[in-house]
Amino acid sequence: MTTKDITKEDHKEAVEKALPVKTATKKVAAGKYIETVGRRKTGTARVRITPGAKEGIVINGKDFATYFPTEELQTIVKNAVVKSKVAEKFSITVVVKGGGIHSQAEAIRQGVSRALVEYDAELRTRLKKLGFLKRDPRTKERRKFGLKKARKAPQWSKR
């Protein structure tokens, strides 16, 4: 059979047979955790979620409410757990470095979202639609030689 003889249906069947079947949920034993990484600008967050433990978020050894004092930043961090509507309780431990406070919050949100997807693969569509799994690539542009900032040039004078 040549490549011209293959129909779309044959190709579709071959692809379906070749693709591995994804499991719906990942059972994690008590005391075990899922570790993921979230990034935003220069902020990096290493997130560990432990299912079945008491509910709470600890960031760099501090309580979540003291690390992020504003309500906006707290909702950014909690968004992934709240919007995924997971019935189980999770103990979330985070080590975050670099970036500003807002980019750290978004890095934590991405890390928590990735961990929840590892825990339950069915959450992927919901979290992806909300944009929590996308790594925002926007970073500060580097300064160029001969310029004052990335694009700001020194004042031009004719004479």
CA distances from 1 to 4, 7, 10, 12, 17 (A): 8, 11, 12, 16, 19
pTM: predicted TM-score of the whole model, two decimal places: 0.75
Contacts of 56 (CB under 8 A, 6+ apart): 64, 91, 92
**pLDDT at residue 136, rounded to an integer:** 87
**Residue 150 to residues 137, 140, 157: CA-CA distances in angstroms?**
17, 9, 20
For residue 39, what are its two tokens? 């990034």
Strand order in the sheet with 56-59: 34-40, 43-51, 90-97, 56-59, 62-63
Tell me, which fold does domain 29-130 have in CATH? Ribosomal Protein S5; domain 2 (3.30.230)
pLDDT value, residue 23: 46
Question: Quick one: tokens of 96?
Answer: 């975050």
Percent of the chain with pLDDT over 90: 49
Q: Sketch the domain layout of the chain as residue ranges.
A: 29-130
Per-residue pLDDT tens digits for 103-144: 999 999 999 999 999 988 898 999 999 999 998 888 889 999
What is the rounded CA–CA span in Å between residue 91 and residue 154?
52
Residues of the chain with pLDDT under 50: 23-24
